[in-house]
């Protein structure tokens, strides 16, 4: 009886060990998550475009466990005086939330804030004259606010 029990326990233990070594945790993200996050949070327009494309197809990136939630421009207007800043704010939130979750926020905050400012300036590039000047002024104000309070 002891021999049968020991054999059964050994077989069960081996089966559990085999499953444990081949199964990966459901929350495990791909190893390149930091590189992907970095590529989507740079100051360039190509980084912005890559992030926007991914945002529009979030299900393709579900294995990475990114936090796509946003409150847009927080307590500031998302579209001040009609300037569409909400997507820039969403990318800024994306960077903040995901770097905080990775424990790497402090090392990346300045770049995230600079990327936000570049995104806002790209919005303003669509205007001319006094309208562009007003937009640029608001972009600078939003940037200074996140630098100080973000």
Q: How does pLDDT run along the chain (150 residues), one tens digit per residue?
A: 444 434 443 344 333 333 333 334 446 789 999 999 999 999 999 999 999 999 999 999 999 999 999 999 999 999 999 999 999 999 999 999 999 999 999 999 999 999 999 999 999 999 999 999 999 999 999 999 999 998
Architecture of domain 29-149: Up-down Bundle (1.20)
pLDDT of residue 7: 40
Q: Is 27 exposed, middle or buried (0-12, 13-18, 19+ CB in 10 A)?
A: exposed
Q: Rounded distance, CA 68 to CA 92, Å?
A: 11
pLDDT of residue 140: 98
Q: What are the residue ranges spanned by the domains of the chain?
A: 29-149
Nearest-CA neighbor of 91 among 59, 55, 65? Answer: 55
Report, as residue numbers or ranges, the catalytic residues.
92
pLDDT of residue 27: 61
**Taking every pair of C-alpha atoms in the chain, what is the biggest distance, in angstroms?**
92
């Amino acid at each position: 009886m002891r021999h049968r029990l020991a054999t059964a326990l050994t077989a069960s233990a081996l089966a559990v060990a085999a499953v444990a070594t081949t199964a990966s945790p459901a929350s495990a993200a791909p190893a390149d998550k930091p590189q992907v996050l970095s590529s989507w949070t740079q100051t360039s327009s190509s980084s912005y475009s890559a992030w926007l494309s991914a945002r529009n197809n979030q299900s393709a990136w579900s294995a990475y466990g990114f936090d796509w939630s946003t409150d847009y421009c927080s307590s500031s207007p998302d579209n001040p005086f009609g300037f569409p800043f909400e997507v820039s704010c969403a990318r800024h939130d994306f960077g903040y939330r995901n770097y905080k979750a990775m424990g790497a926020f402090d090392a990346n905050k300045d770049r995230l804030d600079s990327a936000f400012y570049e995104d806002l300036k790209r919005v303003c590039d669509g205007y001319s004259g006094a309208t562009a000047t007003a937009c640029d002024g608001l972009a600078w104000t939003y940037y200074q606010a996140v630098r100080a309070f973000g």
